[in-house]
Amino acid sequence: SAVCLLAEADLCAVMIRLDKPQDEYAALQKEADARDHRIIGKNQGLFSQNELAPGSWFFSKEGAIVYNGLIEMMRQQYRFRGYDEVISPNLYNLKIFKISGHYQNYFKNMFMLRDGDSGMALKPMNCPGHYLIFKSKLQSYKDLPLRLAEFGVLHRNELSGALSGLSRCRRFQVDDCHIFCAESQIRDEIMDNLNF
């Protein structure tokens, strides 16, 4: 439990009673370290970092084999579940992110570039690209649901203190899906995805 002392003061002291003995905590920490992907990846030579590419990872030959094997497993699942794999650009005019709302919510974490008078950005997520793919041709209700999947390369300008291994970095690849469907299909699509 925690107790706040001197609550009216600008500074509040918090006392926390630890119910677990220190040696039990140390054992749990040791077990967590043994499962830490950053340590395992380094020890097995799968991936590494370099200060010249902060927040990004380099995959060795062995790491690329594991990485590509995982992607192929996902591709099999996507095909089995009726997804079409697509590829969208990495660089967009800022207009698309303003239309989608991503600019207003994520502009601090976007890598921006200039192209003449136009602002450009590396994509922080795949959503706008999938929307543009859907919008690129006339769609019939007979084509729905349309399930798009991508192993898109994303870039986010994460603060250096927020970076954490492969789970929080500046350049990463994500398997991402978007489903375009009729209102009457929403429930079935949600249920199918909960069983993925």
Q: pLDDT-based confidence at 132, cuts 50/70/90?
A: very high
pLDDT over 90 at 69, yes or no: yes
pLDDT of 46-67, one tens digit each?
A: 988 888 988 888 999 999 999 9
Instruction: Please give the average per-residue pLDDT across 130-148, as a whole number.
Output: 93
Q: Which two tokens stand for residue 110?
A: 């976007």
pLDDT > 90: percent of the chain = 47
Q: Name the β-bridge partners of 3.
A: 15
Could you tell me which of 158, 51, 157 has the C-alpha nearest to residue 112?
157
pLDDT of 23-48, one tens digit each?
A: 777 878 788 777 788 888 888 999 88
Poorest-confidence range of 3-17, 34-48, 119-133? 3-17
The C-alpha R_g of the chain, in whole angstroms, comes to: 22
Tell me, what's the pLDDT at 115?
80
Instruction: Please give the average per-residue pLDDT across 168-173, as a whole number.
Output: 84
Tell me, what's the pLDDT at 76?
96
Q: Which two tokens stand for residue 140?
A: 């019939």
pLDDT over 50 at 5, yes or no: no
Q: Please tell me the CATH code under which domain 2-194 is placed.
A: 3.30.930.10
Residues composing the chain: 196
Q: Which two tokens stand for residue 94?
A: 């800022």
pLDDT over 60 at 8, yes or no: no
Tell me, what's the pLDDT at 116?
78
- Looking up tokens 């207003």 gives 104
pLDDT over 50 at 3, yes or no: no
Helix (H, G, I), strand (E, B) or coil at 95: helix
Q: pLDDT-based confidence at 191, cuts 50/70/90?
A: very high
| pTM (global) more than 0.85 | no
Mean pLDDT of all residues belonging to the chain: 85
| E-state strands within 36-139 | 47-48, 58-59, 84-85, 91-93, 112-115, 118-122
Do the Cβ atoms of 152 and 132 come closer than 8 Å? no
Instruction: Please give the average per-residue pLDDT across 96-124, as a whole number.
Output: 88
User: Is 123 exposed, middle or buried (CB count within 10 Å of its CB: 0-12, 13-18, 19+)?
Assistant: buried
Do the Cβ atoms of 60 and 46 come closer than 8 Å? yes
Do the Cβ atoms of 143 and 176 come closer than 8 Å? no
CA distance 161 to 17: 28
